[in-house]
Amino acid sequence: MKRVQAGVLDVAYREVGPPDGKPAVLLHGFPYDIHAYDAVAERLAADGVRCLIPYLRGYGPTRFRDDATLRSGEQAALGADLLAFLDALRIERAVLAGYDWGGRAACVVAALWPARAAGLVSGGVAYNIQDIPAAGNPAPPEIEHRLWYQYYLHGERGRAGLAANRASFCALLWRLWSPTWQFSEEMYARTARSFEDNPDFVDVVVHSYRHRFGLVPGDPALVEIEALLAAQPEITVPSVALLGADDGVGPPPAEDTDARHFTGPYRRAIVAGVGHNVPQEAPDAFAEAVLGLL
């Protein structure tokens, strides 16, 4: 495990592959961690790719550098963290690949700082930038019921429930979101340590699911980035969207309604037999998507 001071964080990250290889940053989601990329990184490293796999804010050994920093989980924070990580490691351009929260960070940087992205792999959701001004508009009931965990965390009962039951809460989400994935107890326990041992996990998660609905203010230092994201900026870099056919929280729609946000080379692929955790469930498909952009 390596560490680097990047923006407001002391980031813990794993590096796999030759140090002079073309770089790819692999970004995990909620509620997962860097182990989602174990098999992907092994495959990419064998092809000469330098893989950088950071723990996001609130996960694993990554820590905030200042106690006064808001424990924000907003999309601007995730994007700013990724940009700071690239700057700290002096990486001018990399393939940015992620899913869930990690996919959001990758989409934010690809949209706002396209010169830093050699390409984008977005898992689970193609255009993973939230339209917060429209967040109050209700979705169809078949979508709303899948978001129960977000609404649960809007109240203090939900915060207390997550704080008291981190491991069991997140294990339930794994089962619901990837109903056809047979993960082992050992596999889950290895990742669950990232939720149980980080003092900021609950605060960051709760803020994320409240901010995206406009229920709490964001970090004042990130207001300008959020304003840019509110305009739903286009993504111009070469992009691949990988969606799990069995995703229990966000089943892929038949119509690709996100394609309009991509003005550069873009393709969408639906991966059969895969749920929400695309890189861990389908490492070969994920690695191939990254290699195709390199």
Q: Looking at the 3D structure of the chain, how many domains does it have?
A: 1
Domain of residue 264, residue span = 2-293
Q: What is the pLDDT of residues 42-53, one digit of tens each?
A: 999 999 999 999
For residue 267, the surrounding DSSP H or E stretch is strand 266-271
pTM for the predicted model, two decimal places: 0.97
- Closest to 104 (Cα-Cα) out of 73, 134, 148: 73
Q: What is the pLDDT of residues 285-294, one digit of tens each?
A: 999 999 999 9
| CATH code of the domain in which 186 resides | 3.40.50.1820
Q: What is the pLDDT of residues 230-273, one digit of tens each?
A: 999 999 999 999 999 999 999 999 999 999 999 999 999 999 99
Residue 290: the pLDDT is 98
Q: Average pLDDT for residues 92-117, to the nearest whole number?
A: 98
Q: Average pLDDT for residues 7-28, to the nearest whole number?
A: 98
Give me the count of residues in the chain: 294
Question: 168-177 long-range contacts, Cβ below 8 Å, gap at least 24?
Answer: 169/31, 170/31, 170/195, 173/31, 173/149, 173/249, 174/31, 174/277, 176/248, 176/249, 177/247, 177/248, 177/249, 177/275, 177/276, 177/277
Residue 100: the pLDDT is 98
Contact call for residues 278 and 271 (beta carbons, < 8 A): yes
d(CA 126, CA 256): 9
- Closest to 24 (Cα-Cα) out of 45, 46, 3: 45
Q: What is the pLDDT of residues 135-173, one digit of tens each?
A: 999 999 999 999 999 999 999 999 999 999 999 999 999
- Whether the bond between 31 and the residue before it is cis, its omega within 30 degrees of 0, is yes
Cβ atoms within 10 Å, residue 105: 30
d(CA 112, CA 228): 8
Q: What is the pLDDT of residues 165-205, one digit of tens each?
A: 999 999 999 999 999 999 999 999 999 999 999 999 999 99
Q: What is the DSSP letter of 222?
A: G
Cβ atoms within 10 Å, residue 224: 9
What residue has token string 């709760």?
Answer: 206
Sign of the four-CA dihedral 124, 127, 132, 134 = negative
Mean pLDDT of the chain: 97
Percent of the chain with pLDDT over 70: 100
Q: b/e map of 157-190 (b: 16 or more CB within 10 Å)?
A: ebbebbeeebeebbbebbeebbeebeeeeeeeee
For residue 204, the surrounding DSSP H or E stretch is helix 201-211
Residue 233: the pLDDT is 98
